[in-house]
Structure 1
Amino acid sequence: MSEEVTYADLKFQDSTKTENTKRLDKFGKKVPPVPSRVWRQTTWTLSLLCLLLLVGLVVLGIMFYLTLKIEMGKLNKLQNIEEELQRNVSVQLLNNRNSSEKIRSLSIALQNVATQLCRELCRKDPEHKCKPCPESWIWHKDRCYLLSDYYLTWQESDMFCSAQNASLLTMRSESELEFIKSKNLFDYWLGLFPRKDNKLPEKIENLVFPSARFIRNTGDLKNMYCGYIYQTYVYYTSCRARKKFLCQKMANPSLNIESILTSDFPDGGM
């Protein structure tokens, strides 16, 4: 009985050694245990998930590429439309500019014709309604002139002209000088600087200035001398003396063309 037990134990031990020997490879290293069934299933599952994820990424990449291509096509179309609109706007602006220049040139030409026609009408009727100057004022070039027969001091004359939105005469051009000389004026105040000394007479040609020399805020004029025109000379006398005066101001730049067209034309015209 004991011999059987001993044999069985030996056999079990030998089988154990044999199994351990099988687990060693030919180099004497221990061979890892064979994977279990659950591990293999897990590996296959993870591999499948990775494959599905890769396929999903490829599909998303293709969809993104196609969408991007479509949107880029739309963007190019919008850019082409925008460029076309810009070209159309540029052409329209250029046409408008050319039209504006033509209208401006036509307006200037019409204004010149109206001015010439109005001058002819005023030559026949000095108080014609087309005249760009107030009633009783003389129209010359782009200015209006008022020859007053009132006798006032220099300061009173200045105040009177100022009330008419005008100023005492100061000649600014040769054309204006010739116009004033043609009126053959005697004893009319001018809008020159009041002086502290009584200057000798001088020719009116020496007092033509491109810009006005006149300043209204002159202060006390009790002992000052002011200039006045006497034919073709300018004299100086006390500013408190009384003389006639000549006011000037800019003419109305816009003639009433309608009043010209509806007027009776001279010499049997229209």
Structure 2
Amino acid sequence: MPEETVYADLKFQDSHKKEETQKSDKCGRKVSSAASHSQHKTVMILTLLCLLLFIGVVILGVYTTLESEMIKSNQLQSIKEELQRNVSLQLMENLNNSKKIKKLSAMLQNIATQLCQELYNKNPEHKCKPCPKGSQWYKNSCYSEANGYKTWQESVKFCSSQNASLLKVKNKDELEFIKSKKLQDYWLALSPRKDHVYYEALSEKMFLSEWFEGSKYDLNRMMYCRYIDRVYVYSADCTIKKKIMCEKTASKVQVESVLNGLPDGSL
């Protein structure tokens, strides 16, 4: 009987130890599993924080780069605008200088022309004269008288060969000048007509009222051309021969020719 009791107690104790051991294993496993889960969460959080930090650094770098590029772009734009302003100012200054030079050149040309006119009045063949030798200078025109007599059409061709035209009146000043010459029997640069006009007073209007085409007329038929006799204009058969006076535009007076032609000490 006592032996059975002892055996039962030992079995109970062994059984109790096994249970304690199993409980201890289970708790250890649970504690270990919880610790592993906590570490995993910590790693995840740290990884996320690192990723966020990396993204922040990248964004900051991009923003800094963009800001730097914007500053450079603004600086370049400012430089460009400044250059454009400088170029505009330079162009305006050049334009103003050009206008001043043109104005001064025109003034100098007028002074040279006036001086040359005075020299010409004293010496009709002065070298400053802007007309061919032997011709007469008045205002902006040169008048050259040809030798001999020619028909109206021959006269037109002759003047054309001299880069000139037959005598004509362009304004009132020229009208008074031609009247003062008291020319007789000189062909005029007026178109041939089929009707005969006995005479009419010389005026600049008769030259403005028609288009002169001297080289395009067939004068084999009876046509009337006009000529000057003092202050009147008459008609005559275009095949009749009369005097010739050609007119051409005067060249510009050369300033150097005026200065070289002035007496010493006159300036």
TM over 0.5: yes
Match of 1:229 in 2: 228
Q: Which amino acid aligns with 1:168?
A: L
The residue aligned with 1:249 is 248
Which has the higher mean CA deviation after the structures are superposed, 41-50 or 234-243? Answer: 41-50
Tell me the amino acid that sits aligned with residue 205 of structure 1: S
SS of corresponding position for 1:152: coil
Shift, 1:54, TM fit: 2.9
- CA apart distance, 1:139: 1.0
In structure 2, do the counterparts of structure 1 residues 198 and 208 end up closer, same or farther at CA, with 3 Å as the change threshold? closer
Partner of 2:63: 65
Question: C-alpha distance in 2, partners of 1:234/1:241?
Answer: 16
**Secondary structure of 2:137 counterpart:** strand
Segments ≥4 residues shifted beyond 4 Å:
35-51
User: Equivalent residue for 2:12?
Assistant: none
In structure 2, distance between residues paired with 1:100 and 1:117:
25
Unaligned runs of 5+ in 2: 1-32
1:183-194 aligned at under 5 Å gives the runs 183-194=181-192
Counterpart pick for 1:259 among 253, 257, 260: 257
Query: Is the CA contact (8 Å cut-off) linking 1:171 and 1:209 kept in structure 2?
Result: yes
Question: How many residue pairs align between the two structures?
Answer: 235
Measured in 2, the distance between the counterparts of 1:47 and 1:198 equals 122
Match of 1:87 among 85, 92, 97: 85
Confirm or deny: 8 A CA contact 2:227 2:233 kept in the other structure: yes
TM-score (norm 2): 0.78
Q: Residue in 2 aligned with 1:181? A: 179
Q: Write out per-residue CA displacement over residues 184-221 of structure 1, whole angstroms, 9 at most, x where no aligned residue.
A: 10000001010112112111126554477311233311
Q: Match for residue 118 of structure 2?
A: 120
Runs of 5+ in structure 1 lacking a partner? 1-34
Q: Which amino acid aligns with 2:226?
A: G
* Residues 212/111 of structure 1: CA separation in 2 closer, same or farther (3 Å cut): farther
Q: CA deviation at 1:41?
A: 8.7
Give the deviation of 1:43 after TM superposition: 7.7
Aligned letter for 1:85?
L
Kept after mapping to 2: 8 A contact 1:173/1:209: no
Residue identity matched to 2:214: R
TM-score between both structures, scaled by the size of structure 1: 0.78
Amino acid at match of 2:127: K
In 1, Cα distance between equivalents of 2:84 and 2:62: 32
Counterpart for residue 238 of structure 2: 239
Question: Counterparts of 1:211 and 1:44 in 2: how far apart (Å)?
Answer: 110
Is contact 1:172–1:208 with CA below 8 Å preserved after alignment?
A: no
- Distance (whole Å) between structure 2 residues aligned to residue 169 and residue 211 of structure 1: 16
Select the structure that is richer in helix: 2
Q: C-alpha offsets along residues 87-135 of structure 1, whole Å, 9 cap, x if unaligned?
A: 2222222222221221111111100000000111111111111111111
Matches of residues 1-270 of structure 1 in structure 2 within 5 Å?
50-205=48-203, 207-210=205-208, 213-222=211-220, 223-252=222-251, 254-265=252-263, 269-270=266-267
